[in-house]
Structure 1
Amino acid sequence: MLQDFTALDLETTGLNPKTDKIIEIGAVRIRNGKEAARWESLVNPGCQISNFTEGLTGIRNEELMSAPVIEEVLPALMDFLMDDVLVGHQILFDYSFLKKAAVNQGIPFDKKGIDTLKLARKFLPQLPSRRLSDLCCYYGIETTSHRAGSDALSAAMLYERLVQDFPDEEAYRPSGLVFHVKKESPASKKQKERLYCLLEWHKIIPDYDVERLTRNEASRITDKIILAYGRLPHP
């Protein structure tokens, strides 16, 4: 079983890595089974987060407005992760968001991982819930749920407890993390001009940064506005 790895967790605006955004990243480096270093950062998603997400995480929109964007955060995170195996609760979810960001920035990002959720499903099928918070409660692991750094450390501690209780070498073998995503291009000047015109004409105050939209995002938002409010009048 691994004694050296990095535990990882993200907080996001939603569950779809192709449309939602990262708002917080937490990574904990483990060496010889002990915490050796920790890396954490809020991430400006370029949009307002929902009241639900604010309530769930305790992260406020005001904090995110002054946080660095993912393009600034990702290189530092990659340096911290080094060549480590990633450990996390539903680790492919976290990896998929980072993979998308890495592809968009042209940064190679291919990792192996160990999923504590899969391990819990295998070894603790009798439990009514295998959410990270419930598993931490079961094992008496102190945690602050839905904050990236705390959840990353909790996943590392959960991994250690599972290894102690269920010493099955094969179950803890890292596997390649796979998420296929294409690079997204920034919205074109024409797309942004059209969107600005729609927003102005329909008196809509956007809860996102138009300048940071991708082509696909700008297209989806434009279509939604037209569907809800109508097209611009012809000159």
Structure 2
Amino acid sequence: MENIIVLDTETTGLNPLTDRIITIGLWHVNKFVKFVSNDEKEMLENFWKFISENEISKLIGFNINFDWTFLKLRSMKYGIKIRYFKKYEERVDLRRILNSEPRAKGTLTDYCTFLGIDIPGEDISGKDVPKVWEAHQNGDSNALPRIVEHLQLDVLRTKALYEKILESGMLDFKIDRS
């Protein structure tokens, strides 16, 4: 079995040249792991240390190219070395697998609803994350926990969607499904 993680990030916007990563979340060996820090460089260093120490071989996500672009460019900004960079070029984008037909352009929430995946929790929209981050920057002590909860719910939704795709036979490699 490959050492695979389901990955998601939350950012302050859509452009890795001007926006930053707020949180990084992943599912690995039966648990949700999060990286959160006001210091983006420290957060990225801890993330890549985790990836290296756990010998992660494959990244899975929904629209993972967005996350990957932020991870690589923001790491480059701080001079953080990404070990084994080439193997992550083979990441798995669940959105691409499901959106291969031009008329099928669903979001993570759309596909979860369609497939009956219900991950309960109080959630904000990904589009609201930059505003909630701004509230955190202005002293709102509830803002960052709301972003982290949204991240965790999206990681769990992505993991559940991955499992549905796996059950359908569209992919043939597995993560620990507990």
Smaller-chain TM-score bracket? 0.5 to 0.7
Rounded to whole Å, the distance in 2 between the matches of 1:127 and 1:159 is 21
Rounded to whole Å, the distance in 2 between the matches of 1:128 and 1:74 is 34
Quick check: 1:78 aligned with 2:51?
no
Rounded to whole Å, the distance in 2 between the matches of 1:92 and 1:128 is 18
Q: Which deviations, in whole Å up to 9, do the C-alpha atoms of 1:18-38 show, x marking residues without a partner? A: 1111122211114xxxxx232
How do 1:75-154 residues align onto structure 2 when only pairs under 5 Å count?
75-82=45-52, 83-84=55-56, 85-109=58-82, 110=85, 111=88, 112-122=90-100, 125=101, 129-143=105-119, 144=123, 146=126, 147-154=150-157
SS at match of 1:18: coil
SS at match of 1:108: coil
Specify which structure has the bigger relative contact order, considering alpha-carbon pairs within 8 angstroms and separated by 6 or more residues: 2
How do 1:203-214 residues align onto structure 2 when only pairs under 5 Å count?
none
Q: Which deviations, in whole Å up to 9, do the C-alpha atoms of 1:74-111 show, x marking residues without a partner? A: 12211222332110011111011111221122222222
CA displacement at 1:127 relative to structure 2: 7.0
Rounded to whole Å, the distance in 2 between the matches of 1:168 and 1:100 is 28
- List gaps (5 residues or longer) in structure 1: 31-35, 44-67, 173-235
Higher CA-based Rg = 1
CA displacement at 1:129 relative to structure 2: 4.0
Conserved? CA contact 1:6–1:87, under 8 Å: yes
Conserved? CA contact 2:16–2:69, under 8 Å: yes
Percent sequence identity over matched residues? 29
Structure 2 length-normalised TM: 0.67
Rounded to whole Å, the distance in 1 between the matches of 2:10 and 2:24 is 7
Q: Which deviations, in whole Å up to 9, do the C-alpha atoms of 1:19-68 show, x marking residues without a partner? A: 111122211114xxxxx23221334xxxxxxxxxxxxxxxxxxxxxxxx3
Rounded to whole Å, the distance in 1 between the matches of 2:46 and 2:77 is 16
Match of 1:53 in 2: none
- List gaps (5 residues or longer) in structure 2: 127-149, 174-178
RMSD of aligned Cα (Å): 2.4
Match of 2:11 in 1: 12
Match of 2:129 in 1: none
Match of 1:185 in 2: none
